[in-house]
């Protein structure tokens, strides 16, 4: 066989090498980050819809909605620092 020497020279990695690999931890951390980002983004979207019935100009309300849709958690920066929006 053409590849028989390669298989003999490269055994399968043992379990200790797989346990020390940081890749699964980074995948779990990335999954948690994406899950939290999505959850906070959903909360921001709901809050921006609630703010349509409160004070503020129509432009501020549209900007708030667009920020919530496209930038998720960054909507709360707009919410906190814009004193005339959603009060």
Could you report the per-residue pLDDT of 7-55, keeping only the tens digit for each? 556 566 555 555 666 678 888 999 999 999 999 999 999 999 999 989 8
Give the integer Cα–Cα distance in Å for 87 and 77: 15
Of residues 8 and 75, more confidence is placed in 75
Give SS3 for 3.
coil
Burial of 71 (0-12, 13-18, 19+ CB in 10 A): middle
Q: Model pTM?
A: 0.71
Quote the pLDDT of residue 7: 53
């Amino acid at each position: 066989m053409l590849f028989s020497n390669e298989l003999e020279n490269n055994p399968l990695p043992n379990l200790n090498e797989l346990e020390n690999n940081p890749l699964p931890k980074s995948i779990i951390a990335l999954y948690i980050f994406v899950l939290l980002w999505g959850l906070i983004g959903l909360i921001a979207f709901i809050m921006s819809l609630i703010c349509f019935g409160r004070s503020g100009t129509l432009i501020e309300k549209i900007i708030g909605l667009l920020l919530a849709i496209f930038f998720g958690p960054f909507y709360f920066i707009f919410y906190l620092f814009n004193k005339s929006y959603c009060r």
